[in-house]
Amino acid sequence: MKLLFFNASIIEQRLIAEWSATHGVSVKTVGAPLSHDNIALTHGYDALIFYPSRAFQTDATLYQQLAQNGIKQLSIKSTGYDNINLTYAQHYQLTVTNVPNYSPESVAHFTIMSILMMLRQLPEQLRTAHTVSRQHLIGKELTDVTVGIYGAGRLGSLVAKTLHVMGARVLFYARTPKPALTALGLTQVSFETLLTASDVLSIHVPLNETTYHRFNAVTLGKMKDDAILINTARGSVIDTAALIRYVRQGKFSGLALDALENEDTQGFQTNPYYQALQAFENVILTPHIAYYTSAAVRDIVMTALDNAYDVISTGISDNVVLN
């Protein structure tokens, strides 16, 4: 069994070495992301562990080359696999796995931290060069606001339950009933109600055809003018151009965005969306780090390697999204 791990950080390399010693399987690491420039390195390997760039959405030749080089499995080291074109992967008989669960506390705690920072207007205080009178930065308490949760899966549910315990009134939108949440006193509502009733709205859904630009000019316009919007999910769930237009008009009292559209192809600080949004004092922008804790990275690396090992050795894995 030959495994190849792309874009391996120093932290990941230590975990890979630990996993390799435990399983008796050699894992080759490459520091760079997988691309046409280094795809020849995949020749002779059985499985790849990597995070796909957006090129994998549209470039069938990447899949063709991987199959010709002997690759049988793509182990995606994230929960989201929206950059994988499943049609191409199926055509070239490539099994795809993901990491559906890893330290949900990492993103949940980051989300709650972001909400509290926005409610207390901390970004304006931190970004202001001179001392500002506290009279201009009076905050709100969590117990005085309604927080809406868009998406009540494992992560969204954890955020919702934690905020409820902290005293917030919590509404949530989910495609299916969530009796475990409603039993605690949380209220399941329509998407329309979530938009219009939330003082703070936090996004916790994967990116797919249904959620792409779910927050667009129309839906963003229905939110309260002084609402706070939090996104620790995927950048393209929000129509960022429409969001920027609203912010320029004075809508939204704060934004905390840990994901931006095109972040993996244009970088972060060079992303035009980042350049436009960072000009506003009531905006927090972070480079997709909500998940990035030692516990979460360990879970991701170990699960991604386990997925590759399971598929190559047995043909199955608990985390297969395409076989």
pTM: 0.87
- For the segment 174-202, the average pLDDT, to the nearest whole number, is 97
131 pLDDT higher than 70:
no
How much is the pLDDT for 134? 63
% pLDDT > 70, the chain: 96
How much is the pLDDT for 295? 94
161 pLDDT higher than 90:
yes
How much is the pLDDT for 267? 65
247 pLDDT higher than 60:
yes
% pLDDT > 90, the chain: 84
Residue 275 CA, chain-centre distance (Å), reads: 20
Question: Higher confidence at residue 248 or residue 134?
Answer: 248
How much is the pLDDT for 80? 85
Tens digit of pLDDT for each residue in 70-103? 999 999 999 889 899 999 999 999 999 999 988 8
Choosing from 164, 204, 261, 263, the catalytic residue is 263
How much is the pLDDT for 101? 85
How much is the pLDDT for 270? 81
Query: How confident is residue 54, by pLDDT bands cut at 50, 70 and 90?
Result: confident
Q: Which has the minimum average pLDDT: 135-139, 223-227, 236-240, 252-256?
A: 135-139
Alpha-carbon distance of 312 to 296, in angstroms, equals: 24
Choosing from 12, 234, 261, 298, the catalytic residue is 234
262 pLDDT higher than 90:
no
What domains can you pick out in the chain, each with its CATH number? 3-102+293-322 (3.40.50.720), 104-285 (3.40.50.720)
192 flagged as catalytic: no
248 pLDDT higher than 70:
yes
Name the average pLDDT for the chain: 93
263 flagged as catalytic: yes
289 pLDDT higher than 70:
yes
91 flagged as catalytic: no
Query: How confident is residue 128, by pLDDT bands cut at 50, 70 and 90?
Result: low
Tens digit of pLDDT for each residue in 210-220? 999 999 999 99
How much is the pLDDT for 269? 75
Choosing from 54, 120, 213, 288, the catalytic residue is 288
Tokens coding 290: 């909500």
